[in-house]
Amino acid sequence: MKLTFKLNGKKRVIEAEPQKRLLDLLREDLHMTGTKEGCGEGECGACTVIIDGEAVHSCLTLVCQLEGREVITIEGLEENGEMCRIQRMFVEETAIQCGYCTTGMIMSTKALLMHNPHPTEQEIRNALAGNICRCSGYTQIIKAVKRSAEEA
């Protein structure tokens, strides 16, 4: 089917199978491999992207659901070739170990801060509850999110 949607601020018109997952559209068709597949079941959050301002699992979104919607991926967060504040804080707080959960964590953070620029720790934990990290124990990640929210 022909799909018209907005991707990282730009209008895109593409031809794709309606039952293709957004995750596969991004990684295979559009060669945007920043978004990762961890489980394919909506359990880990590694594939998180933002659609119409809300965090969703791209492994649980199909092409036929995207008509007219606005999608933001990790690739869309850079600011003039530089990392955005969230990305910088993740680096500074060593909130990245193997890196596999990082994209999803950052996208969930971005979605949270779009709604709520000054979240409490509990609100941060609730917003990231759908993102699993197997390496870190989450402490650095929560710190990075807190710092992303300060003076942002």
Q: How far is the CB of 132 from another protein (least distance, A)?
A: 9
Answer for which of 38, 45, 76, 119 binds another protein (CB under 8 A) is: 45
Question: Judged by CB under 8 A, does residue 27 bind another protein?
Answer: no
Nearest Cα residue to 106 out of 120, 123, 87: 87
Q: For 99-134, give the DSSP string.
A: -TTHHHHHHHHHHHHHH-SS--HHHHHHHTTT---S
Question: Judged by CB under 8 A, does residue 80 bind another protein?
Answer: no
Question: Judged by CB under 8 A, does residue 14 bind another protein?
Answer: no
**Count of beta carbons in the 10 Å neighbourhood of residue 115:** 12
Residue ranges binding another protein (CB under 8 A): 1, 17-19, 21, 40-43, 45, 48, 51, 54-57, 59-62, 64-65, 67-68, 108, 126-127, 129-131
